[in-house]
Amino acid sequence: MKLKHIWIVFNKELKDIVRDKKTLFSSILAPIIIIPILMTIVGGSTQKMTQEMYEDITVALTKNSDTESARNFLNSLAELDENIIVADPVDDPWQAINDKEVKLVIELENGFEEKLKNSEPINLTLIYDNSLARSGGAVGTFQATIDRLNTALAVEKLNALGINPDILSLVNVERQNIARTKDGNQFLMMILPMMIALLVAVGGIPAATDLVAGEKERMTLEPLLTTRSSRMSILIGKYLTINLFSFASVISTLAGMVLAYVINPAALSLGQGEIGGFSVEPLAFVLSLLITLLMGMTFSGIQLAISTYARSFKEGQTYLSLLIFAVMIPAYSTMMIMPNDIQPHMFVLPIMNTISAFKLILGGVVNYAELVMATISSIVYVILALLLAAWMFSKEKFMFRS
């Protein structure tokens, strides 16, 4: 194996792939363009949906319960909560909700005002459509207003009876959120590690398909194998190229995410709250990056081995596309796990170790023993993947499979 030959192969492959507009666009440019657009659209629509659940809650009476006292009752609720807007009574609640005329419809029993005056319970039927987020989501806000009304009525009554209304809430709860990171980070902790793992695993696929299976199809591999360069030099040159593309696609995706954040900070958490307040120790961050790079190197080796096995470009594409499932299973199974819930064995399992390391970093929980475990296991996987690729590249039955 000669370094000079590795460098020549790497240089050539790089030049060759950079000139392939399809690969360049799908691996590098598309994430930078598509991710900000996607996140802005999805984040924007999520934000809009959240707003619809809490703001401008249009409420109407059914025609049956439309009386002056009922209208007054609704107006009193609107005074308690400025988000409640009273609309005209409706005939058909389902139609009115689905036509976006109102979000909620109220039916009040006859003589409710007398009952209230006598401090007797009344029945209020809240009609909503749970299949519509704007209607189902508004129930909570409306219910909170009713609770406030109940409390106000109770306070009024107790005052009239000369009883201190404090007895209604003897235990006061004062909430103190001590999370070091902002609300949106939790969402990021679920999505980002999974996304990075998926990208690292698939980023090198276009290059890997082209570099061996593609060469077989174009009949360029045979002349290449008859140069003075050893097979190992050719293999390593190609391996480095796949690695570079895998990392480049991750970097371009992250750049796309940063761009999305710059355009709209809430877009990155898809409207699930603000992001920020990260406090990461530099060494832990470097280790996490290293683990990610090592995962990329492992997948580059596997991709090279699969591409070597394939007889043609198309066959290579088919086999390599299956790799995404190998990543999706561990990625989805760990999506909901939070940093403190990660089990030690997850730091030695492939893919899971990368996801776990990133979750630690994003959660501000640093455990160096676990990060070192993840690093060592990742190095072992890189070596195994490279050995597999080298073995297959040296075998005639794979190289000249027909």
Partner 1 sequence: MIELFNLSKRFGNLNAVHSLSFTVRKGEIFGLIGENGAGKTTTLRMLATMLSPTSGTAVLSGYDIVKEPEKVRGKVGILFGGESGLYDRLTVAENIRYFGELNDISIDEINERTKMLADTFGMNDFLHKRAGKLSKGMRQKAAFARAIIHNPDILLLDEPTTGLDVSAIREVQNFILEQKRQGKTVLFSSHTMSEIEKLCDRIAIIHKGKLVAIGTIDELRQQNQNLSLEELFVRLVGEEHEA
**Residue 261 near residue 268 (C-beta atoms within 8 A):** yes
Residues found near partner 1 in the complex (CB under 8 A) = 5, 8-9, 12, 15-16, 19-20, 218-220, 222-230, 396, 399-400
Q: In angstroms, what is the minimal distance from the CB of 18 to partner 1? A: 9
In terms of CB distance, is 86 or 225 closer to partner 1? Answer: 225
The order of strands in the sheet holding 124-127 is 84-86, 57-61, 104-108, 124-127
Q: In angstroms, what is the minimal distance from the CB of 23 to partner 1? A: 10
In terms of CB distance, is 117 or 228 closer to partner 1? Answer: 228
Task: Determine the Cα–Cα distance for residues 180 and 263; give it in Å rounded to an integer.
Answer: 24
Q: In angstroms, what is the minimal distance from the CB of 201 to partner 1? A: 26
Give me the torsion for CA of 370, 374, 379, 380, rounded to 10°: 100
Q: In angstroms, what is the minimal distance from the CB of 229 to partner 1? A: 4
In terms of CB distance, is 160 or 219 closer to partner 1? Answer: 219
- Which residues on neighbouring strands pair with residue 90, listed in sequence order? 62
Nearest to 296 by CA among 192, 190, 197: 197
Task: Determine the Cα–Cα distance for residues 319 and 308; give it in Å rounded to an integer.
Answer: 11
**Residue 371 near residue 287 (C-beta atoms within 8 A):** yes
Q: Collapsing DSSP states into helix, strand and coil, what is residue 34?
A: helix
In terms of CB distance, is 25 or 332 closer to partner 1? Answer: 25
In terms of CB distance, is 89 or 214 closer to partner 1? Answer: 214
Q: Which residues contact 27 (CB under 8 A, 6 or more apart)?
A: 203, 206, 207, 245, 248, 249, 252
In terms of CB distance, is 162 or 223 closer to partner 1? Answer: 223
In terms of CB distance, is 215 or 370 closer to partner 1? Answer: 215
Q: In angstroms, what is the minimal distance from the CB of 305 to partner 1? A: 19
Q: 80: which 2 tokens?
A: 């308690």
Q: Which residues contact 289 (CB under 8 A, 6 or more apart)?
A: none
Q: In angstroms, what is the minimal distance from the CB of 220 to partner 1? A: 5
Q: In angstroms, what is the minimal distance from the CB of 30 to partner 1? A: 20
